[in-house]
Structure 1
Amino acid sequence: MVFNSIKFVVFVLPVLFLYWSFFKKSKVAQNVLLLASSLFFYAWADWRFLFLLIASIIINYYLALKIRKEVDDEAKQRRFLYIGLVFNVGLLLYFKYFNFFYESFVELINVFGITSSYTTLSILLPLGISFFTFQTLGYLIDVYNEEIDPSHNFLEFSLFVAYFPKILSGPIERATKMMPQIQEKRAFSYELFVDGLRQILWGLFAKIVIAENCATIANPIFNNYEDQSGSTLILGAFFYAIQLYADFSGYSNMAIGLSKLFGIQLMRNFATPFFSTNISDFWRKWHISLTTWMMDYVFTPLSFSLRSYQKNGLIISIIATFVLVGFWHGANWTFVFYGLLHGIYFIPLVYSGKMNTSEIVAKGKFFPSIIEFIKMLLLFILIMATDIFFRANSIKEAINYIISIFSDDIFSIPQGLFNSNYLITIFLIFIFFFIEWNNREKKHDFEINNYNIFLRWSSYVFLFLLILFFGKSSETFIYFQF
């Protein structure tokens, strides 16, 4: 039941009606309705894993209370924290990575001439497990570090974990931001509700118009890359980079916009990352909830422990963090290598002392400088090339794809470049990035509340017509597999 489906509309409209009518009188009633809806939504995706989600909620709820109860006994506190870490990480290792480690082990012993016949286990991956597990892990660590008080209200904590707009693909919310909103009765805000609808419309446009049209071009090229010219492979990498961004940012905007309809504001997950001028700034704007989680719970403690090694220790911490970022995405060496490459890209910034510099490109202006434009272009090419590893089934396949680009026909005209599908998709991408560029200094990509009423409604109608004429149906999001 994805956001861009009729089933979801049929599900969410009655929930919204009940929420702002019969259940608006108290926060308890609002939370009961939202939790019941969230559990139903997750069960619809796969009812077998509803019990796993409930078990995770119960165990993490009581572990947080135990951690705080033993505030005067640090050894017992650590013991309960470690139980939580083992439980949550164990869920990920078993459901997401068991077969990966098993296959890697068998391949390793085969190198030493030890033959082994084996079959992988048929372990299904629970939807959203990477997202809700990281959220509960962060919650336990924050309670242990006394950055937040543990919730004594099981209903509120359950909603924090299972909240259906973000349960499947994030954002990975922090308790410090979301719990206070759950603990208060939400009053209807016309401005927030309309802004949520705007963000949903933009996310829908990004997903079913931009991402899906890019997919119709990128997928055939990647699936048959051995038969394509070098120039066509470049085009395939370009369309896939746009597809990946539009797909996930589209989901995030729909999730954030949907949550606004219920009076709960989720954190921004993408902030026009392709308008960055260096890799550090890119990761401040790409999958922000995962990046900040990794920075807070992996990079910061690791870099602190390696601070005596100065810049070398900082580089080791960055690379280790981004290897984990890559590995978080899936049980494949391609994701590990993807993360490794991104970590390596930070090295020049560390030695130049520019890792923490970040600013909005051409702030207060419409056109960037030539230097800014060149930096954005070079960074996009770097990201586009690295995304080939994200898309490929194996590192060997990704390397072969890249090698095939540098063939004799690299400067030839890409196959199919002038057919209507390619030209229309390029035109749609231009519109997409034009609107993003125009709103790059705002809170989200389609924040047009300061426009006059004619421009606002013209924008709504324009996007609606693009969705109507160029939208393609899809029942999946790329990040659902993570």
Structure 2
Amino acid sequence: MVFNSFDFVTFIIPVLLLYWLVFKQSSTSQNILLLVSSLFFYAWADWRFLILLVISTLVNYYLGLKINKAEEDKKRNVFLYTGVVFNVGLLLYFKYVNFFYEGFYDVLNVFGADIGHDTLTILLPLGISFFTFQTLGYLIDVNNEEIEPSTDILEFSVFVTFFPKILSGPIERAAGLLPQLSIKREFSYAVFVDGLRQILWGLFAKVVIAENCAVLVNSVFGDYQDHPASTLVLLTFFYALQLYADFSGYSNMAIGVSKLFGIQLMRNFSTPFFSTNIADFWRKWHISLTTWMMDYVFTPLSFILRRQQKKGLIISIIATFVLVGFWHGANWTFVVYGLFHGIYFIPLVYSGKMNTSEVVAKGKWLPSLQELLKMLLLFVVIMLTDVFFRASSILEAFDYLRRIFSSTIIKAPWAFMNGTTVMTLLLVGFFVIVEWINRERKHDLEISKFSIYLRWAFYIFIFLLLLLFGRSAETFIYFQF
């Protein structure tokens, strides 16, 4: 039941009516409806793993209480490490066992031991990468005494299973979401309308931008060897936009749907392609994952390696981003993707500019030439690295990149420049302009201060683009993670 489906519309409308008209008396009644709705939503997506989600919720709730009640550090550590083993164990088993299993036999074959083996078939529960990280972060925060553990099983269950974020995030922090679930939500027209606005932009990003880019990418990537380098460059550009529009579109819809219930989720994307360095890019791309990795992996690791100074900092960054890459999937391509992004930080570490962050052309319509060149250079680097995200193997990715840097780069991609390509370029241009205009605002379509006539003209224009150029889509890229 994806957000851009008729099934979701028939699901969300009655839930909203019940939420604001029938279950509005208290936070408890609102949470009961949210929990039942969330479990139904997850069961609709994949009923086979509903019990796993419930068990994960109950185990982490119990461990949070035990960590808080333990008076000795030794006992606290026992419960914390139990939680780490439990959550990481779930992730390793369902997502990575086959990867290590196949890797083991590949190593044996390298040394000449040609041993046959059966392929493991382990189904991947939807959203497991997101809800395991969320509950693991909760236990660590309780252990570090940054938050008090939830003593209300209903509130904690909604915190884990809340349906807008369960399948693809954002990875919410307990300090941000749990307090909202402990109080009754009051209806706010302004928040409700802003949620609809954010849903609209997320829907446009997904079904117009991401899906039209996907048509072009899928039409060429399977036989990329038969196309000139210039076509491959265009294809890589469209894939970078597809990846961004797909996931940011989902995030905007998830955040927008949450606003309809009076609940604020954290922002997950903040116009990352308008960054001028890789550190700033990761502060704006998949923000919930980046901040999670920074807090729970990079910070403790850099503290351990603090005596190594800049070398220790570089090792910590690279290790963190290798893990970021591996989080995305059980394939060496994702590991290399993370490795390269970690390496890109090295010049910033030695120049002392890793922590610099600024809004490009703040308060201005256009960037300076220097800002524009930095943005374009960074985008090209990210665009080329995204090849590892799309390729099925490391060899395929390197072969694709090798073909880009060939003499056919000067050959015009006439075969690829058809009506669909030109139309998609125009749509992407409109998409980028709107995001540029809203780069300093709370989200990508924050136009509440515009006149009512201008707002409605814009809404109608978006609806027309959806009708004319929208394509059906049954899933999102990040559902596989």
TM-score bracket, shorter-length normalisation: over 0.9
Matched, 1:60 2:53: no
Instruction: Find the residue that maps to 2:165 and give its secondary structure.
Output: coil
2:335 partner letter: V
Q: How many Å separate the matches in 2 of 1:223 and 1:141?
A: 43
Corresponding residue of 2:480? 481
Q: How many Å separate the matches in 2 of 1:220 and 1:401?
A: 15
Corresponding residue of 1:198? 197
Corresponding residue of 1:231? 230
Corresponding residue of 2:176? 177
After TM superposition, give the deviation of residue 116 of structure 1 in Å. 1.2
Q: How many Å separate the matches in 2 of 1:289 and 1:461?
A: 32
Q: How many Å separate the matches in 2 of 1:396 and 1:415?
A: 28
Corresponding residue of 1:141? 140
Corresponding residue of 1:29? 29
Corresponding residue of 2:418? 419
Q: How many Å separate the matches in 1 of 2:358 and 2:439?
A: 11
Matched, 1:284 2:283: yes
Q: How many Å separate the matches in 2 of 1:381 and 1:75?
A: 50
Corresponding residue of 1:88? 87
After TM superposition, give the deviation of residue 407 of structure 1 in Å. 2.7
Corresponding residue of 2:213? 214
Instruction: Find the residue that maps to 1:364 and give its secondary structure.
Output: coil
Corresponding residue of 1:431? 430
Query: Is the CA contact 1:172–1:289 (under 8 Å) kept in the aligned structure 2?
Result: yes
- The gaps in structure 2 that reach 5 residues or longer are none
2:137 partner letter: G
After TM superposition, give the deviation of residue 221 of structure 1 in Å. 1.6
RMSD of the alignment, in Å? 0.6
Q: How many Å separate the matches in 1 of 2:120 and 2:440?
A: 48
After TM superposition, give the deviation of residue 417 of structure 1 in Å. 4.1
Offset from partner CA, 1:387-418 (integer Å, 9 cap, x none): 00000000000001111112332111114343
Corresponding residue of 2:19? 19
After TM superposition, give the deviation of residue 253 of structure 1 in Å. 0.1
**Within 5 A, what are the aligned runs for 1:289-328?**
289-328=288-327
Query: Is the CA contact 1:229–1:415 (under 8 Å) kept in the aligned structure 2?
Result: no
Q: How many Å separate the matches in 2 of 1:63 and 1:455?
A: 52
**Within 5 A, what are the aligned runs for 1:100-179?**
100-179=99-178
- Sequence identity (%): 70
Q: How many Å separate the matches in 2 of 1:134 and 1:289?
A: 10
Matched, 1:374 2:373: yes
* TM-score with structure 2 setting the length: 0.99
Offset from partner CA, 1:66-119 (integer Å, 9 cap, x none): 00110x211000000000000000000000000000111111121111221112
Instruction: Find the residue that maps to 2:409 and give its secondary structure.
Output: coil
Q: How many Å separate the matches in 1 of 2:406 and 2:362?
A: 40
Instruction: Find the residue that maps to 1:449 and give its secondary structure.
Output: coil
Q: How many Å separate the matches in 2 of 1:392 and 1:220?
A: 14
2:401 partner letter: I
1:471 partner letter: G
1:54 partner letter: V
- The gaps in structure 1 that reach 5 residues or longer are none
Corresponding residue of 1:40? 40
Deviates more, 1:412-421 or 1:141-150: 412-421
After TM superposition, give the deviation of residue 226 of structure 1 in Å. 1.1
Matched, 1:348 2:332: no
Query: Is the CA contact 1:416–1:422 (under 8 Å) kept in the aligned structure 2?
Result: no
Instruction: Find the residue that maps to 2:3 and give its secondary structure.
Output: coil
Instruction: Find the residue that maps to 1:409 and give its secondary structure.
Output: helix
Matched, 1:256 2:284: no
After TM superposition, give the deviation of residue 458 of structure 1 in Å. 0.8
Offset from partner CA, 1:1-60 (integer Å, 9 cap, x none): 100000000011000000000001111110000000000000001111000000000100
Corresponding residue of 1:471? 470
Counting matched residue pairs gives: 481
Corresponding residue of 2:77? 78
Offset from partner CA, 1:307-353 (integer Å, 9 cap, x none): 00000000000000000000000000000000000000000000000
Q: How many Å separate the matches in 2 of 1:126 and 1:57?
A: 15
* TM-score with structure 1 setting the length: 0.99
Instruction: Find the residue that maps to 1:328 and give its secondary structure.
Output: helix
1:285 partner letter: K
2:42 partner letter: Y
Offset from partner CA, 1:332-387 (integer Å, 9 cap, x none): 00000000000000000000000000000000001100000000000000000000
Q: How many Å separate the matches in 1 of 2:320 and 2:218?
A: 30
2:212 partner letter: N
Instruction: Find the residue that maps to 1:171 and give its secondary structure.
Output: coil
Query: Is the CA contact 1:335–1:390 (under 8 Å) kept in the aligned structure 2?
Result: yes
After TM superposition, give the deviation of residue 222 of structure 1 in Å. 1.1
1:450 partner letter: K
Q: How many Å separate the matches in 1 of 2:303 and 2:406?
A: 46
After TM superposition, give the deviation of residue 419 of structure 1 in Å. 1.6
Query: Is the CA contact 1:417–1:423 (under 8 Å) kept in the aligned structure 2?
Result: no
Deviates more, 1:292-301 or 1:113-122: 113-122
Instruction: Find the residue that maps to 1:351 and give its secondary structure.
Output: helix
